[in-house]
Amino acid sequence: MSKPLIKLFSLNGLQYNPNRDPQVYRRCVNEPFRIQVVLDGAGDARCRVEDAQGRPLVEETLALPGTFDCRIAFDTPGSRVVSVRIESGDRSALETLRLDVLERAWIG
């Protein structure tokens, strides 16, 4: 049995949990989302962050074990669906995220 490729997945400094209140992950316009993925294994891994149409927003190759760390920001409010795709040899992992961008910060 092989080990999982992803050891830890975090968004904005918090371990990602799709059941968590989405408010903790939201960002304002032009405020970056920070995606970190701690990877296990040996060799090289190809890491991509793609939009809903499959276009790459960020692409990087790194040595394993290692950490993929990227920041992405959006200049308009709304919800975006992005996919984080990790490929290493015959192993791959995919995590789909909903990123909510607020027009302005909440007051109060």
Q: What is the per-residue pLDDT across 68-99, written as a single tens digit (0 to 9) for each? A: 999 999 999 999 999 999 999 999 999 999 99
**Model confidence, pTM:** 0.90
Q: What is the per-residue pLDDT across 7-32, written as a single tens digit (0 to 9) for each? A: 999 999 999 998 898 889 999 999 99
Predicted confidence at residue 46, as pLDDT, reads 97
Q: What is the per-residue pLDDT across 26-36, written as a single tens digit (0 to 9) for each? A: 999 999 999 99
For the chain, the structural domain boundaries read: 6-102
Where does residue 108 rank: exposed (0-12), middle (13-18), buried (19+ CB within 10 A)? exposed
CATH fold, domain 6-102, is: Immunoglobulin-like (2.60.40)
- Give the span between the Cα atoms of 1 and 63, in whole angstroms: 22
